[in-house]
């Protein structure tokens, strides 16, 4: 039986990781077996959701990541900075050697899929296998030296998969000599999983109280790229206008302390709440008045599709590669300029008090959301892998 090597950095709580698990658990191939190559053995929070029958191979030795993190924390010292740079180069050697050893010892290995798009740094060293890379992020605004470096790396792949129309167009313009390698396969959402989550929920007393409030919701990592600062500043304007709508932010991350400080400075402790990570964010989304997404950059923004499925009107930043396409140029939700908290505040206020527009967005979203269903998109995955020559 032929083997498909599916490589990812880890199985953390990010969107790419959740998508990877749905692909691995649900993609059924004829006479082919998927093997998951995982860079890191630590912090694979979603690993228990992976089908137990899927073979897993960890690429780095157990000591490497803890040691790297320890050295990184001391980078202000010139010696440790030098050691850190040496280790980062050594990491490429470890990963390429581990992958090549697996290919050498498993002659049935047929295709290598770089699903998180980070193998480009060493892909030229991977031998005797067909190679596919998934592109999950926009390259908008990259400098020419970076473009040339990416182009050289992409030349080592046989196929380059983009995840939406806008990204496909962008990649074709940036790398015209790779025209024949570039294809498009949309990201997808597992609607069945959401439906199950919407039926199964247990709230404690405090959560029940919060659920009865009038609120908007945002979901995602508490990272600077998600730009929750813009949403919080928009709620400061709403608060000053006497609008008492609450904001619940679901997710965790290393920017939490900064956001907590911003909430205190703006005196929004009774209006904006950081709820942390939730096993079931969908029930919070479904019961919200508005779903707000203020990200500066996304791979595709599948959380918008999830919100559409949950039947809640959306206001999103107009991030590259995804926002306009998912929201059909504003037909299925509102778009605002990235980091423009005044525009966001204005759109929130208008949408809160315009039931007709809210219903319009919900109905329009229902018409197109199945475009991103798992069943539809996995057919494209299957065709790419099974018919790949």
Q: Is residue 263 located within the same domain as residue 222?
A: yes
> Kind and range of the H or E element at 87?
helix 78-105
Whole-angstrom Cα distance, residue 162 to residue 165?
Answer: 8
Residues 244, 281: one domain? yes
Beta bridge partners of 6: 36, 113
Q: Structural domain tally of the chain?
A: 2
Q: How many residues does the chain have?
A: 389
Same domain, 141 and 200: no
* pLDDT value of residue 201: 78
284 & 319 share domain:
yes
Q: What is the pLDDT of residue 151?
A: 96
Q: What is the pLDDT of residue 301?
A: 83
Domain range for residue 356?
191-371
Give the dihedral of Cα atoms 187, 193, 195, 200; nearest 10 deg: -150
Tens digit of pLDDT per residue, the chain (389 long)? 899 999 999 887 677 888 999 999 999 998 899 999 999 887 777 888 899 999 999 999 999 989 998 998 888 889 989 999 999 999 999 999 999 999 999 999 999 999 999 999 999 999 999 999 999 988 888 999 999 999 999 999 999 999 989 899 999 999 999 999 999 999 999 999 999 999 887 888 899 999 999 999 999 989 999 999 999 999 999 999 999 999 999 998 899 999 999 999 999 999 999 999 888 899 999 999 999 999 998 877 889 999 999 999 999 999 987 889 999 999 999 999 999 999 999 999 999 999 999 999 999 999 899 999 999 999 999 999 988 76
Distances (CA, A) of 77 to 71, 72, 84, 294, 320: 10, 10, 10, 36, 38
Same structural domain, 132 and 168: yes
Q: Are residues 160 and 114 in the same domain?
A: yes
Q: Is the separation of the CB atoms in 51 and 33 below 8 Å? A: no
Q: Assess whether 170 and 212 both reside in one domain.
A: no
Q: Give yes or no: residues 382 and 322 share one domain.
A: no
User: Do 321 and 379 share a domain, yes or no?
Assistant: no
Q: Are 99 and 5 in contact (CB under 8 A)?
A: yes
Predicted TM-score (pTM) of this structure = 0.85
Sheet hosting strand 32-38, strand order edge to edge:
55-58, 32-38, 2-8, 109-114, 130-134, 159-162, 182-184
Place of tokens 């990010």: 14
**Same structural domain, 173 and 273:** no
One domain, residues 184 and 195? no
Q: Are both 364 and 378 inside the same structural domain?
A: no
CATH number where 324 lies: 3.40.50.2000
Q: What angle do CA 310, 313, 318 make, to 5 degrees?
A: 110
pLDDT of residue 389: 63
Q: Is 184 helix (H, G, I), strand (E, B) or coil?
A: strand
Q: Which two tokens stand for residue 354?
A: 């315009």
């Amino acid at each position: 039986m032929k083997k498909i090597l599916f490589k990812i950095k880890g199985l953390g709580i990010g969107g790419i990781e959740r998508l990877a698990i749905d692909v691995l658990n649900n993609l059924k191939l004829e006479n082919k077996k998927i093997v998951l190559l995982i860079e890191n053995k630590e912090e694979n929070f979603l690993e228990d959701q992976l089908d137990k029958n899927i073979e897993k191979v960890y690429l780095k030795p157990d000591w490497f990541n803890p040691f790297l993190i320890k050295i990184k924390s001391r980078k202000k010292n010139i010696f440790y900075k030098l050691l850190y740079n040496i280790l980062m180069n050594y990491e490429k050697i470890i990963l390429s050697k581990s992958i090549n050893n697996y290919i050498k010892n498993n002659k049935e290995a047929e295709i290598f899929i770089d699903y998180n798009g980070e193998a480009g740094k060493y892909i030229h060293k991977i031998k005797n296998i067909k190679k596919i890379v998934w592109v999950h992020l926009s390259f908008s605004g990259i400098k020419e030296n970076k473009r040339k470096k990416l182009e050289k790396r992409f030349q080592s792949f046989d196929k380059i998969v983009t995840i939406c129309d806008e990204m496909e167009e962008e990649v074709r313009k940036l790398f015209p000599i790779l025209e024949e390698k570039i294809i498009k396969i949309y990201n997808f959402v597992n609607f069945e999983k959401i439906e199950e989550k919407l039926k199964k929920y247990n709230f404690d007393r405090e959560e029940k109280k919060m659920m009865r409030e009038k609120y908007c919701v945002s979901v995602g990592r508490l990272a600077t790229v998600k730009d929750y600062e813009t949403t919080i500043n928009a709620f400061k304007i709403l608060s000053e206008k006497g609008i008492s709508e609450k904001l619940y932010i679901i997710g965790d991350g290393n920017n939490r302390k900064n956001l907590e400080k911003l909430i205190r400075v703006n005196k929004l402790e009774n209006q904006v709440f950081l709820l942390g990570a939730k096993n079931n964010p969908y029930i919070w989304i479904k019961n919200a008045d508005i779903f707000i997404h203020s990200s500066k950059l996304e791979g595709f923004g599948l959380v918008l599709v999830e919100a559409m499925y949950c039947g809640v009107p959306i206001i999103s930043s107009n991030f590259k590669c995804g926002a306009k396409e998912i929201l059909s140029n504003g037909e299925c939700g509102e778009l605002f300029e990235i980091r423009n908290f005044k525009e966001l505040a204005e759109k929130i206020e208008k949408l809160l008090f315009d039931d007709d527009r809210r219903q319009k967005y919900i109905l329009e979203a229902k018409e197109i959301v199945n475009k991103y269903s798992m069943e539809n998109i996995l057919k494209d995955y299957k065709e790419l892998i099974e018919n790949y020559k």
